[in-house]
Amino acid sequence: MQKWTREEKDQILNERDEKRLSLLHQQIRQSIWRGQYHIQTVTGLMNDPNGFSFFNGKWHLFYQWFPFGAVHGMKHWYHVTSEDLLHWKNEGLAIKPTTPYENDGCFSGSAYVKDNVLYLVYTGNTKDDYGRMVEYQMLAAMDQEGRIGKDAKPIIYPQSGYTGHQRDPHIFYEKGKYHILLGAQNENHEGRLLLFSSRHIRDGWKLMGELTIEGYPSFGYMYECPDIQKVGRQWLLLFSPQGLHEKGDLTTNSYQSVYFIGDLDLENLKFIPKGEMKLLDYGFDFYAPQCAFQKEYRDKAVLEGWFGCSDCCYPPTDEEGWANMQTLPRMLSIEGGRLKQRPAKALKALRKDVVFEAFEGSIRTNRLFGRMPSACVMDLENPSDSDIRLNLFAKNLERGFEISYNASTKTVACDRTDMVHVVNPEYGSRREVVLDEPLKKMEIFVDHSTVEVFINDETVMSSRIFPTASEHSVRMSGRDINLKISLADTTVNDDFVLFRR
Ligand code: FRU
């Protein structure tokens, strides 16, 4: 594996890099693990979704990006757009680190639409002469032509009483003011959420204090990527706490993304949860999600997450010079006090030729001939609560990527133990979730190196896999199940766009 020097990791994208990155992209395009309907890095490494929003008739998503290779180097923002949340277009570089307040990268942030301008707030990450991290909150603005201008000075400076970890601003408007929710770590190394308010987006930001979560005084050592969104009449608070893994809580992932449903009491700086803290995803690879909102959806929000996780690596594609994708957009709603997560409606159109169909356990159509399609959608119904086992990308009689359901314990499991490439084995190679209700339905989206399992319109498990040429069979078992497998359309052009012209 390539060893990156400090200098190489600190590179900032320039016009003169176009040629060599175009060559890198030509190689990357050949990879058997490139997706055909997921947002994926153009070159190098992608991580968090940023500035996810609906503006000027389109969905906009920016992502954390190191252009030159699969390593967490100097972070830039890359821009993609979509009219329907299904077809995505590469727009090119959006933000690069140029000011002294971002000498170690332009970190994550969010977007707010006002008066035909898309405001982008993000973290300017710096390292001082002793290598200590100092973080500033910065502002950029994009016009309707897609031109982005950055403010030279921060809108929020580092706060005392907290360590250097103060980042990932989420901007929102409520009760006549703008607010920014910021992830932070206090001097006792505990995760905190800071709330700032202002009458203007550009200036006047004041720290109001810590937003506390009633009943959850402290957990984790740092909160990354907070997001708060009104979904119908309830508030949904999400963030990515670090330090739960060490305590063995929730899952064995290196880090998790959690949510609370509840009320927001801005005056008293309190979030009052209705119910417990829950995970947004029970798979292996999911982190730093954020929501976007469109007026027409009213009581819904759309969620995008990084199809990866910090402190994890993905050697099969790292070696090819690229890392990571974004998860499929999920439609969120709160029904009967529970968070529902469904694939965005537009994804229905992904389903092309039906190559397999079983009804009440008997096969009606089978054009698979035992071979696993590299991109498909599987729709499964389980009317009589049967045990289920699906072995995708299996080598001979091995298990491959196994999705199973145990009806007596209501447990769904995803297991990648038997794959040739087992990535991040130090965090375990099996994930399980115990459902509140028996398994009624699953929608499984497979895209070359991704598997997303949507269960009962509520629970999601997202996992990266790297099947080799010898891992190509598929086996399925389940009494009385209905199962339809459709080949998937290609909706993301893997084209090389570096700069907006
Ligand atoms: C989360 C994160 C953020 C930070 C960004 C840097 O994955 O660590 O907290 O802003 O990534 O790329």
Phi, psi dihedrals of residue 216, rounded to the nearest 5°: -130, 70
Q: Whose CA is nearest to atom 9 of ligand 1?
A: 224
Q: Which of 10, 48, 115, 285 is catalytic?
A: 48
Q: Which two tokens stand for residue 328?
A: 């499929």
Q: Which two tokens stand for residue 225?
A: 């990527």
Q: Quick one: fold of 345-488?
A: Jelly Rolls (2.60.120)
Q: At residue 367, does pLDDT exceed 60?
A: yes
Question: Where do the domains of the chain lie?
Answer: 345-488
Q: At residue 235, does pLDDT exceed 90?
A: yes
Mean per-residue pLDDT, 335-363: 97
- Residue 167 CB–ligand 1 contact under 6 Å: yes
Q: Which two tokens stand for residue 226?
A: 């907070």
- Residue 317 CB–ligand 1 contact under 6 Å: no
Closest CA to 135 of 151, 118, 154: 154
pLDDT in tens, 383-393: 999 999 999 99
- Residue 48 CB–ligand 1 contact under 6 Å: yes
Which runs of E-coded beta strand occur in 328-429?
A: 330-335, 338-343, 351-359, 362-366, 375-381, 388-394, 401-406, 411-415
Question: What is the Å distance from ligand 1's center to 112 Cα?
Answer: 20
Mean per-residue pLDDT, 81-95: 98
pLDDT value of position 298: 77
Mean per-residue pLDDT, 336-365: 97
Mean per-residue pLDDT, 303-318: 96
Question: What is the Å distance from ligand 1's center to 325 Cα?
Answer: 15
**Helix (H) or strand (E) segment spanning residue 18:** helix 18-28
- Looking at the chain, the whole-number percentage of residues with pLDDT higher than 70 is 99
Q: Is 48 a catalytic residue?
A: yes
Q: At residue 461, does pLDDT exceed 50?
A: yes
pLDDT in tens, 65-74: 999 999 999 9
Q: Chain-wide mean pLDDT for the chain?
A: 96
Question: Are the C-beta atoms of residues 193 and 266 closer than 8 Å to each other?
Answer: no
pLDDT in tens, 271-291: 999 999 999 999 999 999 999
Nearest-angstrom CA–CA distance, 496 and 117: 27
Q: Could you give the C-alpha distances from 325 to 10, 35, 450, 459, 493, in angstroms and in order? A: 22, 8, 9, 20, 14
pLDDT in tens, 479-497: 999 999 999 999 999 999 9
Phi, psi dihedrals of residue 285, rounded to the nearest 5°: -130, 95
Q: At residue 227, does pLDDT exceed 60?
A: yes
- Location of structure tokens 């920016």: 62
Residues 6 or more apart whose CB falls under 8 angstroms from that of 130 comprise: none
Q: Which of 66, 96, 104, 107 to mutate to test the pocket of ligand 1 (most atoms within 8 A of CB)?
A: 107
Question: What is the Å distance from ligand 1's center to 461 Cα?
Answer: 22
CA-angle at 365, arms to 363 and 371, nearest 5°: 95
Q: At residue 249, does pLDDT exceed 50?
A: no
CA-angle at 224, arms to 220 and 228, nearest 5°: 110
pLDDT in tens, 199-220: 999 999 999 999 999 999 988 9
Q: Could you give the C-alpha distances from 311 to 199, 204, 244, 426, in angstroms and in order? A: 38, 36, 14, 11
pLDDT in tens, 28-61: 999 999 999 999 999 999 999 999 999 999 999 9
Question: What is the Å distance from ligand 1's center to 108 Cα?
Answer: 6
Q: Which of 108, 122, 134 to mutate to test the pocket of ligand 1 (most atoms within 8 A of CB)?
A: 108
pLDDT tier for residue 1 given thresholds of 50, 70 and 90: confident
pLDDT in tens, 388-419: 999 999 998 899 999 999 999 999 999 999 99
pLDDT value of position 475: 95
Nearest-angstrom CA–CA distance, 462 and 286: 6
- Looking at the chain, the whole-number percentage of residues with pLDDT higher than 90 is 93
Q: At residue 155, does pLDDT exceed 50?
A: yes
pLDDT tier for residue 251 given thresholds of 50, 70 and 90: low
Mean per-residue pLDDT, 221-248: 90
pLDDT value of position 250: 54
Supply the DSSP symbol for 5. P
